[in-house]
A and B are shown apart, each in its own frame.
Chain A
């Protein structure tokens, strides 16, 4: 028994961050069987009622009127234009927030400066703002009564109730995703490897490209995937700034709302099923990347333990 106990301790010490790696043996202090059974049952029932049944329901409702009605709902011109707008929005918002995430994590992880913790809090700010307020701020800036409203009107530029407003609101909502994944990752990696490259004469750009980027690629991808899922699925903020013009300023979630409010449930769930599919792909990729990150974590700690 004692040898098993110490085996657990060493494995866990070696993998402080590994989340999915199973310890060699289970927890040492185990609850009675009936307690375990009750807890597992409660957890699974809760999960089934709140996650699995809704997920099944999306697809069940989508296919209620058959395959043909499903396809017809998706190739409907308004649905197609909503899909296009969603893709365009994500294609603009995600890369911008990616560049920002890399810049922010570079200066925060590699340098010490005053006000860093304030900067960190400010970066997280959009997460704590209600989506409705995230939309409202752009109405106050670009609306007819807003700061830039009259000027924009005079120059015939449309931001609010048009595509630029949707893109801006989406950028705001997804602002922290990449930065928040990269900052802790880069902080934990330190900058010894970059310093070595620089001392050996590599340029800053080459150091970033050849040393930093390979180290952060999985974390970067993780942030991008979460950012993309939110960008494509955002509803509240986009709803405020979109103006709901069919075939023009409706993203997929807004199209779902319109169809639903017209009691066209099968079509609403057909478009919704595409978004649910996106969510499932996101979760699968996320699980895969977490597994990869754990692998490289495990490699690192194995390396470290042989070094010392």
Chain B
């Protein structure tokens, strides 16, 4: 204890640590973090301080930008909900059942993380446009246009968010205690009751976390959406694209104001996700 000139606080119950490199590693971490992330990110907020309140308000509530919020958040919501349903089923199937090709499928789930968004964008557009493999069928049979409509945005965002729910629910299902299910079954619960009363409450926090992660990713998504959306102002123009449009018109202040709104929403989502993850861990410990 006499040598505690080092900055680290002693770990609970652990003996005094002789580990070197605390100042060097923390110093470098903070320096690099400030240089790459914090200073550049702060420029967004500082830039908006140069605007008057009225100009800021007008920039973030114009009719065209309001339409883009509705599309971005509406489509993200639908896509995240689709991912909860299908991602939940996928996680369930991957954890509990055996079938041929399971390991390859498990690895493939991460494809939307690994595939560059521009590639996803042009491929989905090719598939869902009027003469594409899916598009000609959907248009011919159902008479619905997918590509170059808001529906196309939902398709792209569903693709992008696919891995989140699967990857958050999977480990929780794997760790779920089989004993509880057995107990429920031996006490006479049928499989539906076992699911709703025992399994579902256990995986609920992870489903919500996956939903929030998919939603957060979808709201900021750009590359996969712009090809399939058609990008018509007021109809199929997402907010990130509108920021770029403003930039191309050299309206830096306008672009930055919208960016601030999006950033604040992302930070709120990040906070929600952290709380949800804490809840998931708490559930797991019980």
A residues sitting closer than 8 Å to B (CB atoms) are 5, 8-9, 12, 16, 19-20, 22, 26-29, 31-32, 35-36, 39-40, 42-44, 46-47, 49-55, 57-58, 61, 99-100, 103-104, 106-107, 110-114, 119, 121-126, 128-133, 136-141, 143, 145-147, 168, 171-172, 175, 191, 194-195, 198-199, 204, 207-208, 226, 229, 232-236, 239-240, 252-254, 256-257, 260, 265, 268-269, 272, 275-276, 278-280, 282-284, 286-287
Interface of B is mostly: helix
A252 CA / B241 CA spacing, docked (Å)? 20
Query: Which residues 172-222 of B have a CB within 8 angstroms of A?
Result: 174-175, 178-179, 181-182, 184-185, 191, 194, 216, 219-222
Q: Decide yes or no: A28 and B182 within 8 Å by CB, A53-B127, A128-B216 being known contacts.
A: yes
Q: Decide yes or no: A279 and B162 within 8 Å by CB, A104-B29, A198-B18 being known contacts.
A: no
Q: What chain B residues lie within 8 Å of A131 (beta carbons)?
A: 117, 220-223, 240
Q: Does B53 sit at the interface, judged by CB under 8 A? A: no
A50 CA / B175 CA spacing, docked (Å)? 28
Q: Are B162 and A50 in contact, CB atoms less than 8 angstroms apart?
A: yes
Q: Are B105 and A47 in contact, CB atoms less than 8 angstroms apart?
A: yes
Q: Are B127 and A51 in contact, CB atoms less than 8 angstroms apart?
A: no
Q: Decide yes or no: A100 and B28 within 8 Å by CB, A61-B123, A253-B119 being known contacts.
A: yes
Q: Are B29 and A103 in contact, CB atoms less than 8 angstroms apart?
A: yes
Q: Are B240 and A140 in contact, CB atoms less than 8 angstroms apart?
A: no
Q: What chain B residues lie within 8 Å of A128 (beta carbons)?
A: 216, 220, 266-267, 269-270
Q: What chain A residues lie within 8 Å of B41 (beta carbons)?
A: 125, 129, 137
Q: What chain B residues lie within 8 Å of A171 (beta carbons)?
A: 36
Q: Are A283 and B107 in contact, CB atoms less than 8 angstroms apart?
A: yes
Q: Does B108 sit at the interface, judged by CB under 8 A? A: yes
Q: Are A130 and B162 in contact, CB atoms less than 8 angstroms apart?
A: no
Q: Does B96 sit at the interface, judged by CB under 8 A? A: yes
Q: Are B158 and A130 in contact, CB atoms less than 8 angstroms apart?
A: no
Q: What chain B residues lie within 8 Å of A226 (beta carbons)?
A: 113-114
Q: Are B37 and A172 in contact, CB atoms less than 8 angstroms apart?
A: yes
Q: What chain A residues lie within 8 Å of B139 (beta carbons)?
A: none
- Which residue from chain B places its CB closest to the CB of A44 in the assembled complex? B105
Q: Are B8 and A112 in contact, CB atoms less than 8 angstroms apart?
A: yes
Query: Which residues 51-109 of B have a CB within 8 angstroms of A?
Result: 86, 89-90, 92-94, 96-99, 103, 105-109
Q: Are B90 and A46 in contact, CB atoms less than 8 angstroms apart?
A: yes
- Least distance between B28 CB and chain A CB atoms (Å): 5
Query: Which residues 138-157 of B have a CB within 8 angstroms of A?
Result: none
* 8 Å CB contact of A29 from B116, B182, B220, B256: B182
- Least distance between B76 CB and chain A CB atoms (Å): 12
Q: Does B235 sit at the interface, judged by CB under 8 A? A: no
Q: Decide yes or no: A126 and B263 within 8 Å by CB, A253-B223, A260-B122 being known contacts.
A: no
Sort A-B residue pairs by CB-CB distance and give the 5 closest, nearest first: A233-B116, A130-B220, A204-B20, A235-B223, A236-B222
Q: Are A132 and B244 in contact, CB atoms less than 8 angstroms apart?
A: yes
- Which residue from chain B places its CB closest to the CB of A274 in the assembled complex? B119
Q: What chain B residues lie within 8 Å of A126 (beta carbons)?
A: 37
- Least distance between B269 CB and chain A CB atoms (Å): 7
* 8 Å CB contact of A19 from B7, B174, B252: B174
Q: Are B220 and A28 in contact, CB atoms less than 8 angstroms apart?
A: no
